[in-house]
Amino acid sequence: MTDILSPDVVLPAVWQDSLQTGDVVAFRFPHETDGSNDPKVRPALVLDVEETDVGRFASLAYGTSNPRSRKAAYCVDVRSDKDRASTALHRPTRFNAARRVLVSLDHPGFELSAEIGTPVLGRLTGPASDRMHRVRARIHAERDIRRDFLGRHRRNAGGLRPVTVERRSKFRKTKWETINV
């Protein structure tokens, strides 16, 4: 499914330092279901690279040459010869962003090429790159909507609410009281 690195990719001393959105990497993507087989190396599309206090992380989309129907809203297809040449893919490939993982750039699942010492195969260009940016925009919009909803939900649940309590003595009502909980 993949060839060696595309000749127009410039490598830094350490590949983690230059990994960016749109790169295609060789990664041992986990299986959808548990099984005894080890994950095989397959192309994965870098959707985002995030820096945190504990290191750099990449959001990777699953790549496959199997054209099964998936949620098209989350798929990035690399079909043309020109697009495949820049990514070092020798078969049409679909990257499914609905199936993605967030991994550290030190993750052992990255498969380093013996010749060049990097898992980076190439980079998306042309219509595939444009499609990737539309998919990323959708993912980010959905994340922002979720955060907004959860934030409002937490704000509403976090404040004190007035509750009316009935105090009884020997099964008879003695008084009503409003307390804030």
Which of these, 17, 1, 77, 18, lies nearest to 9 by C-alpha position?
Answer: 18
Give domain status of residue 180, yes or no: no
What range defines the domain where residue 30 resides? Answer: 15-155
pTM: 0.73
Parallel, antiparallel or unpaired: strands 75-78 and 23-28: unpaired
Give domain status of residue 4, yes or no: no
Give domain status of residue 166, yes or no: no
Compute, in degrees rounded to 10, the torsion defined by CA atoms 102, 104, 11, 117. -110
Specify the pLDDT at position 29: 86
How many folded domains does the chain comprise?
Answer: 1
Give domain status of residue 173, yes or no: no
Specify the pLDDT at position 133: 94
Phi-psi domain of 155 (left: phi exceeds 0; alpha: psi -120 through 50; beta: other):
alpha
Give domain status of residue 70, yes or no: yes
**Distance (Å, whole) CA 118 – CA 5:** 9
Which residue ranges in the chain fall short of pLDDT 70? Answer: 1-13, 33, 35, 69-70, 152-161, 167-174, 180-181
Tens-digit pLDDT profile for residues 22-61: 999 999 988 776 767 788 899 999 999 999 888 899 999 9
Specify the pLDDT at position 7: 53
Residue recorded with tokens 């937490």: 154
Q: What angle do CA 103, 76, 83 make, to 5 degrees?
A: 105
CATH number at residue 30: 2.30.30.110
**Distance (Å, whole) CA 108 – CA 80:** 31
Which of these, 112, 111, 87, lies nearest to 23 by C-alpha position?
Answer: 87
Residue recorded with tokens 């959105």: 21
Give domain status of residue 123, yes or no: yes
Give domain status of residue 128, yes or no: yes
Compute, in degrees rounded to 10, the torsion defined by CA atoms 15, 20, 22, 23. 0
Specify the pLDDT at position 171: 64
Give domain status of residue 171, yes or no: no
